[in-house]
Every structure is written in C-alpha cells, then in structure tokens.
Amino acid sequence: MIIHQCYYLLDMEVSKTNELQWSDFDKVEMRIGTILEIADFPEARKPAYQLTIDFGSEIGIKKSSAQITKRYSKEALLGKQIVAVVNFPKKQIGKFFSECLVLGSVGNENDIVLLSTDLKVKNGLRIG
C-alpha cells in the first residue's frame, strides 16, 4: 500500500511539471495562414518544403520549413489554409530562416497531416 501511494505521488508530481497554466497558453499565437509559395528544400536533412505563408495584414508574410513531403505535393499545398505558431523566434535551418511553426499531427512513420480549416477563413485569425 505504501509503495502504491509513493508511485501515485510521483505520478502527480510528474504530471504537474508538464501542466500548462492558462497564461502559458495565452502566449502561444496560433494563426490561420494561406500557403502562397512552395519550394523544394534539398539542403534539409529530412525531405522538406520551404513555404511562404500569408497571415494577413497584421502579421504579414512568413516563411517556414515543413517536413510534409510524404503526404503533400506542391500543387496540393498551393492556396491551402494551415495553422501555425507565429510568435516563435526565427530558427535557422541551413541557410534558410524559418519564421513560424506549421502545425500538424505526426503519424507512426513521421508522416505529417497538417492542421487546417475545413472552411475558408480570413488569414491571421487566432486559434483559441
């Protein structure tokens, strides 16, 4: 019984360290953007595209690298609305600077399915 209680207390402490506060979530700016341009990224270690994304007049145009080549052709991505985090600092990947993080679910074989809208909405809308 005592051992079980110790494990329970350890589990509680571990889960508390991963818990977000609402104020943490409020800091993350997830926004809707439309993919304007797609380019191959041959310098990337894993197959990826370089994306140019329009997040509306308030945020503007941002670039991102995304490892989404398993499921998406360049033609399928053009004009697609996606969800991205737009308030991370720039991340250098080779000579390329990624300015936002495109969000997607990760499958068992690291095949990404993009988070997107089912209806066309205004670029820059915040996800909440």
**Per-residue confidence (pLDDT) for residue 50, from 0 to 100:** 98
User: pTM of the entire structure?
Assistant: 0.83
Of residues 61 and 24, more confidently modeled = 61
Range 105-113, long-range pairs (CB < 8 A, 24+ positions): 109/70, 110/46, 110/67, 110/70, 111/70, 111/71, 112/66, 112/67, 112/68, 112/70, 112/71, 113/71
CA 29, CA 10: separation in Å to the nearest integer?
32
Kindly report, residue by residue over 81-94, the tens digit of the pLDDT: 999 999 999 999 98
Q: In the predicted model, what is the mean pLDDT of the chain?
A: 88
**Per-residue confidence (pLDDT) for residue 111, from 0 to 100:** 87
For 57-66, what is the mean pLDDT?
97
Kindly report, residue by residue over 1-41, the tens digit of the pLDDT: 444 343 343 444 445 677 888 888 889 999 999 999 999 99
% of the chain residues with pLDDT over 90: 70
